[in-house]
Amino acid sequence: MSDTPAILVENLSKQYRLYHERNQSLKATILRGRRARYDEFWALKDVSFEVPQGATFALIGENGSGKSTLLKCLARILAVDGGSLTTHGKISALLELGAGFHQELSGRENVYLNGSILGLSRKQISQRFDEIVDFAGLEKFIDTPVKNYSSGMYVRLGFSVAINVEPDILLVDEVLAVGDAEFQLKCMEKVDQMRGQGRTIVIVTHALGSVRNLCDTALLLEHGEMKRVGPAAEVIEEYMADVFTDRVPDGEHGQRWGSGEAEIEDIEILDAAGQRAKRIRTGDAITFRIRYKANERITQPVFGLAIHRLDGTEITGPNTREADLLPDAIDGPGCVDLRVDRLLLVPGTYDLSGSVANRSLSHAYDMRHRSFRFDVEQGDPLAEFGIVSLGGTWGGSIFQR
């Protein structure tokens, strides 16, 4: 591997003009006698980093932070307004859905068109055509006009062409998220294969699990400025810490129903010290505290909690009747705690429901469905995939020394 970096960026800046009004014609311009007014907006400002040859590099940050703009600058689609940018090697980019495709042409014709744009001769494209189509899985549709393709078909064909150019540097935007789960897995396997071949890869993505698994280094952008660049795992931790700062259940969303004899006023998440948790990690000892108010005397109420993923999948739904805990009655304000010695949810965002009902669960006094939200960060045990961590311990003779 050469000591010369594949990408060297020094104090790169990119500016846009945000117009307050727009002259629609030459006549309008003359009549106004002045140019349209605008503000200057710096999408990128003084960004500096380098990507070694053969490295896999991630650009992360919130929407609008400048990630895609930076990737377009690396691809030479956008001219920079300050600083310098140097790349070494052939670049292939998959930046926008359908970029480089002609709507009226077939998939076959677009393979040749897109391949030529990326620098391949017709002979080279013909030699790789079958491999391109096979990877995209579009054999049945390759002679269909791409205007009839779904967004997922667009991505599959575009990515397949981009990787078969055999670039020295591959630039990939978040468009891969459009593909289905099977194709995303194929893409990740291909990216890993390209890493093994010593190719340089730059990815823009919100899939932090993929960044942690695939990327050596990450750059965190915030409002167009570089906040940090370094080992991917460390940059992700800093990003997640900022995102989750002071995020607590807000009770601002979800649905609510019930007869109102008792009300769920709040659900708090407490840390091991009994304080309201500001950060929650996999493996933490926490307590869910339901604060309620009984507007009249209620006998043998049942309190419940439920945790959902954002896609609506219910993860768990314990209640006090299952635990054989039925108070004689409640009247006025109070609280009910559910202590969890080790929270084994994998990192992510979850919705929380709280309820109080009669003993048979046939009547809800108050049901606050997915009305609270909380975040889980990476912790111990290290877990990234699925919903929950098993929390087990690996062993076996192969690990003995």
HEC profile of 107-129 = HHHHHHHHHHHCCCCHHHHHHHH
Residue 382 counted as domain residue: no
67 membership: H or E segment, kind and range: helix 67-74
Which residue type, as a one-letter code, is found at position 111?
V
Residues 226 and 269 in one domain: no
Residues 68 and 181 in one domain: yes
Residue 96 counted as domain residue: yes
Structural domains in the chain (count): 2
Do the strands 217-222 and 56-60 form a parallel or antiparallel pair, or are they unpaired?
A: parallel
Residues 63 and 184 in one domain: yes
CA distance 336 to 329: 13
Please give the residue range of the domain that contains residue 209. 7-244
Residues 188 and 142 in one domain: yes
DSSP 8-state secondary structure symbol assigned to residue 272: T
pLDDT in tens, 373-400: 999 998 988 887 788 888 888 888 888 7
Of 211, 244, 277, the residue that ends a domain is 244
Residues 195 and 333 in one domain: no
pLDDT in tens, 345-364: 999 889 999 999 999 888 89
Is the pLDDT at 134 greater than 60? The verdict is yes
Instruction: Return the top range by mean pLDDT from 32-46, 211-225, 256-270.
Output: 256-270
pLDDT in tens, 312-326: 788 999 999 999 999
Residue 122 counted as domain residue: yes
Residue 100 counted as domain residue: yes
Burial per residue of 124-140, b for 16 or more beta-carbon CB atoms within 10 angstroms, e otherwise: ebeebbeebbebbebee
Residues 259 and 200 in one domain: no
Residue 99 counted as domain residue: yes
The confidence score (pLDDT) of residue 2 equals 62
The larger pLDDT score, comparing residue 24 to residue 284, is at: 284
Residues 154 and 69 in one domain: yes
Averaged pLDDT score across all residues of the chain: 86
Is the pLDDT at 20 greater than 80? The verdict is no
Residues 230 and 264 in one domain: no
Expressed in percent and rounded to 5, the helix, strand and coil fractions of the chain are: 25, 35, 40
CA distance 132 to 128: 6
